[in-house]
A and B are shown apart, each in its own frame.
Chain A
Amino acid sequence: DAGVTQSPTHLIKTRGQQVTLRCSPKSGHDTVSWYQQALGQGPQFIFQYYEEEERQRGNFPDRFSGHQFPNYSSELNVNALLLGDSALYLCASSLEQGRGTEAFFGQGTRLTVV
């Protein structure tokens, strides 16, 4: 059973560029949440997707957007990259919008903005 998979694992972008990160949830899971983890900090909630809609959003600007596909996989898009966007981006999958069920994380995408 494949767990949560993310791609790419590492990425280097230039300030001002746009980036798309991808996530495939654990088999049987229907909810995908995205987190940003800066060095030395805990993961910060970006948003959650369920039934192809954004259901909840954290305190992130509109430059951060996402999408969920009918097969439950998801993309995170970041426009106009800033140096401060450099972080580990984690995708977590769960069931039924995360109500009391364990969330499983992918290995993350490490984004470096130069």
Chain B
Amino acid sequence: RKEVEQDPGPFNVPEGATVAFNCTYSNSASQSFFWYRQDCRKEPKLLMSVYSSGNEDGRFTAQLNRASQYISLLIRDSKLSDSATYLCVVIYYSGNTGKLIFGQGTTLQVKP
């Protein structure tokens, strides 16, 4: 079983749609959670952190459920510019070191 698993893509949605991505992680000792965005042939960039209380940044809402080891990302009113691959990221700490573990990514294509 992979340490971090995401919904298989691709997601093809019309502009203005609401889309949700899910992610599960296997190690209950995980301590930090993020969503990164990766555009085609580019490097990943931090989209937002994920907290147990949930957090919102404009059209984006991230949620963490530690009991179910589940992370979600909701995008409202999708824009063409939201088309990208969204990577669920978990940080595992071993002693003093933290390493980012990525899910395989979910591709979103927003159509006009």
Q: Is B54 an interface residue (CB 8 A)?
A: no
B43 touches A98 (CB 8 A): no
Q: Beta-carbon contacts of B68-112 to A below 8 Å, as 1s and 0s? A: 000000000000000000010001011011111111110000000
Q: What band does the interface of chain B fall in when counting residues whose beta carbon is under 8 Å from A?
A: 20 to 34
The answer for the CA separation of A41 and B9 in the assembled complex, in Å, is 11
Q: Beta-carbon contacts of B44-73 to A below 8 Å, as 1s and 0s? A: 111000000000000000000000000000
Quick one: given A41-B104, A100-B32, are A107 and B97 in contact (CB under 8 Å)? no
Q: Beta-carbon contacts of A40-65 to B below 8 Å, as 1s and 0s? A: 11111100101000011010000000
A-side interface mostly: mixed
Identify the A interface with B (CB < 8 A): 33, 35, 40-45, 48, 50, 55-56, 58, 90, 92, 94, 96-100, 102-103, 105-108
Identify the B interface with A (CB < 8 A): 4, 6, 31-32, 42-46, 87, 91, 93-94, 96-105
